[in-house]
Amino acid sequence: MGQVVFLYAVTSSVFLVFDSLGIRYLIRPIFETHIGHLLAAPLRLGAAVAFYLLYVAGVMVFVSWPALKSGAPLQALLLGALLGAMCYGTYEMTNYATLADWSWQQVVVDGLWGTFLTGFAAWAGVAAVSGRLV
């Protein structure tokens, strides 16, 4: 049980720290350009917390725990990236399909960010718990 808690703590910490930076320096400037008038001020923190808790739990169930049991941090990287592409891609493509002001720039940048972030966070958690980088 302690291993699961540590894996969740590392994965969620990496995800949150890097996403905070990514949102601030990559995502928010693009979103402000295209849909700034729709951004909530202040941020709806409860929804953000719920997303992070549930998303990292999904990464754990579908990616990190199986990769840890296999002793394969690179598996976590690759499958995490795939899961991130699917999840962020669903969000981005749905918004692009349904919202008039959504841009391809948002789709590409946020989609690639979610792909990288999910893969990296999953890899970092598994690598930290297993003590293996590859």
User: pLDDT by residue (tens digit) across 28-43?
Assistant: 999 999 999 999 999 9
Over 80: is that where the pLDDT of 114 sits?
yes
106 Cβ contact list (under 8 Å, min separation 6): 30, 31, 34, 35, 92, 95, 96
7 Cβ contact list (under 8 Å, min separation 6): 60, 64, 65, 68, 125, 126, 128, 129
Mean pLDDT (the chain) is 97
Report yes or no: 133 and 72 within 8 Å, Cβ to Cβ: no
pLDDT score, position 132: 85
pLDDT score, position 1: 84
Rounded distance, CA 125 to CA 11, Å? 5
User: pLDDT by residue (tens digit) across 60-95?
Assistant: 999 999 999 999 999 999 999 999 999 999 999 999
User: pLDDT by residue (tens digit) across 72-81?
Assistant: 999 999 999 9
